Structure 1
């Protein structure tokens, strides 16, 4: 790992990033889903639906939903009859997710406080690994990708939903203005937390572009890597297989 990593537009020590990201999600946990609706005008629900359709969960499969805190992806996966483990490094996010699961009657989910960079699950334990809007907050992304590869069975599949860089002419400038000028203000209004949402927007800007991240997935050992851009690449579904 390098001596410094990005925390938004800052360069900080790796251990400092881990601690500061933890504080961000502790701060926003209770309003996280409301803010997702506000920031994306509800479109995050459509992106997540499409993501889970690409995963194609099946009854009896074991699926790890990493950084799955509030349960949005896990609930969709569990409807298939798959056995879903929800893992997140942040206990406050998991607490919100467990409360939402109780309210919705999802009583078969397994909840685990876990660091994506150093999972405690055995080798070749899961049929699929999903992570949605979480990989960019990981301190050591290559380590997390290697761990994803390790815990998957042969023939297992990796799916990641993440923000990226839109390639549509003109749209990127509009989105830059909206994200940098409007989203932090919305965060202040709804969640009383402007700084956390400023970081979340900056973290999108610092995340690798689609070809670079696809290459990182391949370097972790995955084959048949694929990227499916949405909104010109503003959001992308990355995937790969373990053989």
Structure 2
């Protein structure tokens, strides 16, 4: 069974639109877990536009029965309100850390790592995370040359997370078959080097089943579409629907 990680950034974005603690991030995460979420994902950023450091620390206390996945750029520096990504991860002690090459003010993740360029700077970061017992996943594009996936394994990553926007855009079009093959091949190449496969970005109730039944995935991370669906169905029912789609 593919595990479902629920990204709650958008819930925090709604909370931050008012000077209150509603909706309560902690309570929303508990609802997701009670209805089948295997993991909670957060992506803190230095501008605190959604998830805040205090949210991350609080969430680390409720995931005994599931996992906490913190994603972000490990090179993000500290500021007066943000301790820096690596300090935040060190204090929160998540089960998994997904490293993403975001720019400081980037709207959302839109590309993976170039490991031919970035391997030497990522290697000590990955070593430090793994010494703390944190599983490491690297956000990666599909369709790369095999050397990129080989390098992911060589510098110590446990998993890669395939960036699925291209698949989501192609879903339902004549080109979906060829794009899907790209993801299947990328997963197979990565697995040949001992890596496990996660996936995320623009996955929803319509397109998730085909990907999950075609690619050998360990986990999908879903936020934007899942939170939109929860406006129609309620958060608990929506998480259950995604669990059913993955099955």
TM class by shorter chain equals 0.3 to 0.5
Greater fraction of residues in strand: 1
Q: TM-score, normalised by structure 2?
A: 0.33
